[in-house]
Structures are given as C-alpha cells and as structure tokens.
Amino acid sequence: MRNWLTTVQYTTEKVLTLRKRKKLRQKQKQQAKHPVLDWLEAFIWAAGVVLLINQYLFQAYQIPSGSMIDTLLIKDHIFVNKIIFGPELIPGKIKIPSVFKPERNDVMIFENPTYISRGPTFDILQRVLYMLTLSLVDIDKDENGNPKPHFLIKRAAAVSGDSIRFREGEVQIKPPGFENWLDESLFLEISGLPDRTRRMVNPSDYSPIRASAYIDAYRNVGIEANEKLIITASASPGSSGDMFAWMKYRNEALYSINPHETRYGNLWRKFQTGWYIPPGYLMPLGDNRDNSKDGRYFGPVSLDKVLGKAMFKYWPLDRVGKIE
C-alpha cells in the first residue's frame, strides 16, 4: 500500500514539475519576444478572425449610391448575411451551395454583371482589404476617385417564372399562372409585401422625355425636329429623369426612321416586352426607381452571383435597425 502511494506521489510531483517548467519556458519565450513581433502576431490573428467572419458569416458593406433611398441611404453601413445563400470558398471563386434562395422583395448584394475586373489577384486583394477594414478602405477606384461598383445592392423585384416589364417608370409583373399584367403596387399588396419604391419623375414628365429622346434620335440621323417637338422637349428633365424610358423612346424613334435596321427593332422590343425570368435567376431593381442602374440595364442575375442578404444597419447610430 505504501509503495503504491509513493508511486502516485512521485508521478504527481513529476507531472506538476514538468507543467511548471513548461509554463516557465513559455513565459521566458514570451518575455524574450520583440514587442513589435508580439503585436504583429496579435494583429494577424485578429485579421484572420475578421476575414473568416466577413467571408463566411457576416460582411460589412457601405452603401455607395442613392439607388435604394429611402430603404438605404448613401454611406449607410450595413451587415450582410453571407451564410444564408451559401458563402464563397475563396473571394470571387467557388460558392458553397445552400438550400435557401433569395425570395421576392429580399434586399440582397450581388456581383455587378457590368463590372470589368482588373484581374483575380487585384480582386482578392481589394476584397480582403475591404473586409479587414469593415468597408472603410476600397482600393478599386475609377478615374475620378470614386469606388467602382464591384457589388450592387438591390431588391429582388421579380423571381424565377415571373415576367416583368416597365411602363413610364412603373413596374408591371405577370407571375406564373397569371394571364394579365399586374401593377407592382397592386401585386405587392395582394402578396402581403411592403412597397418600398420611390419615384421622382411625375407622369406628366414623360411627354417631354419622349420628345427629348425623339429629337436626339432625329439628330443622330441628320433630321431636323419640328417646332412642336422642340417646345415639348423644353420642359423635359432630360435623360436623367428616367434614363430607361428615354432610351426606349430613342430606340422607338430610330426604329421608325430605319425599320430595316434590326438592331433598333430588337432593342425597342426588349424595352417594350420586358423580360421572362428563367429558373435560377431573379430581377434586381433599386427602390429609388428613377436613380438606379439595375436589372433594367443588364437583365436578370444568376442566383450564383448573389452573395448575401442585407440584414442590419449599424452606422450611423440614428440609422441603426433591421433592413426590410
């Protein structure tokens, strides 16, 4: 019995001694480490945690334009839920599948289909710095020093199976199984969804917008516009009032002048008939309809390009709240 107790005591003392020596060595190693190196290790560890959270869970994002007013204002800082639709394994590369898909009226962030990349190395560096600084540093600038729209944030106005078209700035939707077009406001009311859209162009503005577009088309082919058209156009807010409608009217005029030019006819028909949203796609639109470069200009967006769902505004403090 005494031998057994002696053995246990000896083993315990040895283990405790070894642990004490190990801790002493670690402490001496820590004290011998240069303070700068110690700080650098802590920074790298913290940066790694931030990157993992931003890449796979929640990413900070800063609103760059007024296309989502009043839902989101310029320079609002928000968190985007990236895990819900499947995060990317590597920034800009392979995406993990998810059982969840964006739903109608969701506010989501997606890759800009019109963005011209400067190469995979730059893209990854830009996204890493953007995530590390919680959206404060963006090295991807245009010639004027403004951030390039690598990502866009819009609302899912139409989903797979819908048809969507535009009439003087107003959206009309024909869901699967419907024979008639429904105004978006009525459709949202029937669906029990809130209507967050904002319009700045009045219905009375479309006559001068049309006249302005026709005059531009006439000048393009060397035709002088009549005085009535010029007077009507003088009250126009110009293409900035509703660029999409202005482009539609311009192609309409060019097609009527040159019916043999199929490109004008094809463009006009696209504006006139709208889009069918195929499986695996959605149509993103800005809430501020008259100041948004969205799906009207580049068409439906693949669900594979949707990076996350906008969840929460965290800055400025008077704007803190859930995004709906």
Residues 262 and 290 in one domain: no
Spell out the residues 6+ positions from residue 270 whose beta carbon is closer than 8 angstroms to its own.
none
239 assigned to some structural domain:
yes
pLDDT of residue 108: 95
Residues 141 and 240 in one domain: no
pLDDT of residue 142: 78
Residues 157 and 57 in one domain: yes
CB of 135 closer than 8 Å to CB of 62: yes
> How many whole angstroms separate alpha carbon 40 and alpha carbon 37?
5
11 assigned to some structural domain:
no
Q: Where are the alpha helices (DSSP H) in 192-294?
A: 206-220, 227-233, 243-257, 262-273
277 assigned to some structural domain:
no
Residues 142 and 220 in one domain: no
Residues 219 and 302 in one domain: no
261 assigned to some structural domain:
yes
Residue numbers of the domain that contains 132:
51-164+282-322
> How many whole angstroms separate alpha carbon 18 and alpha carbon 24?
10
295 assigned to some structural domain:
yes
Residues 264 and 306 in one domain: no
> How many whole angstroms separate alpha carbon 184 and alpha carbon 140?
36
pLDDT of residue 110: 94
Residues 78 and 140 in one domain: yes
Q: For the chain, what is the domain count?
A: 2
Residues 68 and 138 in one domain: yes
- Cis peptide preceding 70, ω within 30 of 0: yes
CATH code of the domain covering residue 306: 2.10.109.10
Residues 82 and 160 in one domain: yes
Residues 127 and 79 in one domain: yes
215 assigned to some structural domain:
yes
Its pTM stands at 0.80
- Cis peptide preceding 284, ω within 30 of 0: no
186 assigned to some structural domain:
no
Residues 143 and 290 in one domain: yes
45 assigned to some structural domain:
no
pLDDT of residue 8: 47
CB of 283 closer than 8 Å to CB of 277: yes
pLDDT of residue 237: 65
Spell out the residues 6+ positions from residue 185 whose beta carbon is closer than 8 angstroms to its own.
195, 197
Residues 125 and 154 in one domain: yes
CB of 66 closer than 8 Å to CB of 73: yes
Terminal Cα distance for the chain, rounded: 74
Consecutive 10-residue averages of pLDDT for the chain (324 residues)? 55 62 62 64 66 76 90 93 86 79 95 84 79 77 79 95 93 92 94 93 90 91 86 70 89 90 84 92 95 93 93 93 93
* 269: helix, strand or coil: helix
Residue 87: φ, ψ to 5°: -75, 165
